[in-house]
Structure 1
Amino acid sequence: MEITILESIKVSVIIPVYNTKQYLQECVDSIINQSLNQIEIILVDDGSTDGSIEIVKEYEESYENIIAIYQENQRQGAARNNGLKIARGEYIYFIDSDDVLEINSLEYCYNLAVNDNLDMVVFEADIFGNINGRNRNEYVFHERLNEIPLCINGIEFVNKYYNRISLLNIPFTLFSREFIKKNYILFLENTIYEDVAFYYKVIQCNPKIMIIDKIFYHRRYRNNSTMTSRINEISIFNKINVYNNVFVESAERTKNLYSIIAMHGIRKALQDVIRFNLCMGSDFKNYIIEILNFFSKQIKCISSLLDIQYCYLSVNKLYNIDISNENIEQLVYNYLQKIKEQLKLYNKNTKIGIYGSGQDCTAFLDLIRYFWGEFKCKIFYIQTEKVLDCEKNLYSVDDINDLNLDCVFIGSYYYEEEMLENISKMSDGRRYKVYSMRKDFHYYDVNY
């Protein structure tokens, strides 16, 4: 089918392509078949070696509204920037070349954007492919948080929800080209996690956002993609550099919050170093110590205190050295001492259920162990899934009534409301004392 390009372009769709020959046609066809007319498609081949380039050329020759760019491999950031340079649409949409978009998505989002003069329209997604037990609906924001307003400004959004849902997914968003252009926003190049830096740059410019309760995007979960690539020394450096950039490039009005967000990302990178037993060189040691000393002067909330303390301990463990910040260590000690007593972690007769043991929860509990040693109470690890492994003290929330717990500690902020609801449903009329990192211990409060 031949499509004639029109003078007025409503949406420019930019598709970076790198070695996705197996999936590329399904992706591009999902854009070609959109119900919205007046779109242009910009395919940017990023030095593919698997035959993807031949598919790009075939599309370029067959459709007048498809433009192709060919570049040496420079990663997605450079590919998206090169697409942005020639894009002519009122709005910009980026899609990954192995994923699929519902055919009415751009029309629906474009009409909303024009009618309400929006800078961003954010929609939801599911996951398909080799998901291996992942939550298929982890990007369905309204399941996790039902109070999202119809329209919200970017800074208000990130202040209110940064610790509860993550919208940092470029392909889930329709952007105003004028907004991006007037604020001089570009992607970092020659790095991964470039989408994180881009999104936070956008948000600090305070866009008008609408978040809609529709699953338009289908993200393919597959081996060897950027999403599932093995964590290594380069990816750790990239992640820390990007989160450091988030703070360094932040505007004055977001500097406090962005220091917290950046420190979270850096701490998680160090947790990955330890979890995957990576061998990081002395250059990394010097770099991370410099960053920690810098962030130690930006302290604004308890989670940053804990993150920095955890990072200092991680560096000590990795390099068998002894560095610290005595002021931070004392503040963290005083804070955790109250929680240690509240949870009765060192009472051998106490039975505690830990519901949701992600990286934040792990760091939180590891810091308590650092100061006071291994817990003496009985720990039961609880998951939402129907699992049971008594030898590892791993249970489903369905089993909660059989455990005779003294209290439950919720260590997840993304799914906290869902977990509270699950406990309420399964408690069989019993009233458990439930503690939350967010509500009870103020872990994510910006001005604690």
Structure 2
Amino acid sequence: MVKVSVIIPIYNVENFLNDCLDSIVNQSLTDIEVICIDDGSTDNSLAILQSYAKFDDRVKIIHQDNKGSGATRNLGIEQSTGDYVYFMDSDDYIDLNALEKLYNNAVSNNSDFVIFKIARFDKENDINYNAPGFDIESIFGDVDYNNFTFKYSNIKHYVMNASFAPWIKLYKKEFLDRYNDLRFPKDLAYEDVPFHVKIMLYASRISFIPEFLYFYRLNPNSRVHTSNSYDIFKIIDIVEKFLIDKKYYDELKDEFDLFKITQILNYILSIGEEEYFQKTKEEFSKIKISSQTNISEYYLERYDLVLRSNNLIEYINEHYEICINNLNKVISNLNGNISNLNEDINQLNVEKNFLEKDISNLKSKNEFLSEKCDAFKCDLDCLSNKNKKLINRNKKLMDSNRKYKRDLKAAKKFKTAVLNSNSWKLTKPLRFIRKKI
């Protein structure tokens, strides 16, 4: 048994598969198995898988005819032997420390699954961190998420109105096996939606890592086919039936209504079929939005528009009219902002003129002070020269003083000699000198 089983459904992704597999086989957590399920690829994907399996015995390859993501992921769960299960899409990549961080968090919290943040990138590899999928920190704040768990009741909005993707979570295998219905619907698009709703409601302990660990490729080729877009109605019915059967519907009705409206509206224009519009109108007529339903103005406008319109053409015309009006509002706001900006620029120009005057005055003062400084330097040089002369004069005076002291000392010595001499008694001149001294 390994710590984590990584399950990767693969279908015609030869251009991106190396990036995906490199991010998995080079994980800091090495005790993993990599279950690669080739879902009937017709390109070079299988050969790429075989090249990795040849050098890494953790890579296991399963080949099957094309059955879709739901059946493929279910097969991966059945084949997995890990304590935890992680689903990976084959055209994306994850942080090289992701599995280790997720595993440690799950074990530390004994959680049924761990959720985290996703970043998105395009073909230019510009990474966008603005849509993390889950903004759990805004609910719980700055806590130690390695020792913190919660339930769906703490994050009701995310039960049906968040990122449904299975690759944004690490699951405890025992948790997935505990419930018979914790598997993906087969032969349906959007198969991850009911799976997400079920795990959110079944989990007794959910944990979170406030880090961007998954990097989702914005790949236009991975979009759901128009022919499968009608599956969203079936998916909504599956979710509604589950909520009713498990006694969650009354508690989560507002979240369900929001989920139903946003999911159906997401495809009404891209499909562009009258049948889809009439089906939408029928479903929306069953919904009574309450004041508790946290629906944005964008979706609320279009929900009302569907109910007012008789057909798709009428909806499209008014939809684009709304878009144009909103665009005009944006332009009007921009013009107002430009006008305010021009006023700010004029004010800045006035302040600039004042500053220029101040700068001119400062320059004049600086020139005046510079002249004063030059005069001060001249005075300082003059004083320095006078000081040198005084020093020389003082030196001469000190020399004269030393000479005077020597002469005085000699005179005193002479005086003492004269006073002590007997010669003055003998001659008249000496007697005269003695009287003087």
Normalising by structure 2, we get a TM-score of 0.64
State the superposition RMSD in angstroms: 4.0
Measured after TM superposition, the shift of residue 34 of structure 1 is: 1.0
Of residues 248, 254, 267, the one that matches 1:254 is 248
Q: 1:31 aligns with which of 2, 5, 24?
A: 24
Question: In 2, are the aligned partners of 1:263 and 1:308 still within 8 Å (CA)?
Answer: no
Matching residue within 265, 280, 291 for 2:274: 280
Alignment check: 8 A CA contact 2:120 2:215 kept: yes
Structure 2 stretches lacking a partner, 5+ long: 344-437
CA distance in 1, matches of 2:11, 2:178: 29
The counterpart of 1:193, out of the listed 162, 185, 190, is: 190
Deviations 1:61-101 (A, max 9, x none): 44322222222222211111110111111100011101111
Identify which of 204, 217, 220 aligns with 2:217. Answer: 220
Q: Aligned residue for 1:175? A: 171
Query: 1:294-331: per-residue Cα shift (whole Å, max 9, x none)?
Result: 555x9784558x97996575166353799xxxxxxxxx
Q: Which has the higher helix share?
A: 2
1:145 to 129, 135, 138: 138
Partners of 2:115 and 2:168 within 8 A in 1: yes
Bigger Rg, structure 1 or 2: 2
Q: 1-side partners of 2:11 and 2:68: how far apart?
A: 8
Counterpart contact for 1:233–1:279, Cα < 8 Å: no
Whole-angstrom distance in 2 between the partners of 1:203 and 1:131: 35
Kept in 2: contact 1:243–1:263 (CA 8 A) = no
> What is the 5 A alignment of 1:48-63?
48-63=41-56
Q: Equivalent pairs: percent with the same residue?
A: 26
Which residue is equivalent to 2:120? Answer: 127
The CA distance in 2 between the partners of 1:403 and 1:233, in whole Å, is: 52
Equivalent of 2:152 in 149, 155, 158: 155
- State the Cα distance separating 1:125 from its structure 2 match: 2.0
Aligned runs of 1:206-355 on 2, under 5 Å? 206-226=203-223, 232-235=226-229, 237-250=230-243, 252-276=246-270, 278-281=272-275, 284=276, 287-288=279-280, 291-292=283-284, 295=287, 301-302=292-293, 311=303, 313-314=305-306, 317=309, 319=311
**Contact 2:32–2:58 at 8 Å: present in 1 too?**
yes
Deviation at 1:178, TM superposition (A): 0.6
1:428 paired residue number: none
| Unmatched 5+ stretches in structure 1 | 1-7, 323-361, 382-391, 405-448
Q: 1:249 to 1:300 in 2, by over 3 A?
A: farther
> What is the alpha-carbon distance in structure 2 between the residues aligned to residue 213 and residue 146 of structure 1?
12
Distance 1:135 1:143 in 2: 18
Q: Residues 257 and 293 of structure 2 are in contact (CA less than 8 Å); yes or no, is this contact kept in structure 1?
A: no
Structure 1 residue 50, shift from structure 2 partner: 1.6
Q: Does 1:395 align with 2:369?
A: no
Evaluate the alpha carbon distance shift between residue 85 and residue 320 of structure 1 in structure 2; reply closer, same or farther with a 3 A threshold: closer
C-alpha contact 1:197 1:245 (8 A) present in aligned 2: yes
SS in 2 for 1:115: helix
TM-score normalised by length of structure 1: 0.63
**Aligned mates of 1:396, 1:125 — CA distance in 2:** 36
Say how many residue pairs are matched: 332
Give, as a single letter, the amino acid of the residue that structure 2 aligns with 1:395. Answer: L
Structure 2: how far apart are the matches of 1:400 and 1:257? Answer: 49
Change in Cα spacing, 1:289 to 1:51, as seen in structure 2 (3 Å) is same
Match of 1:43 in 2: 36
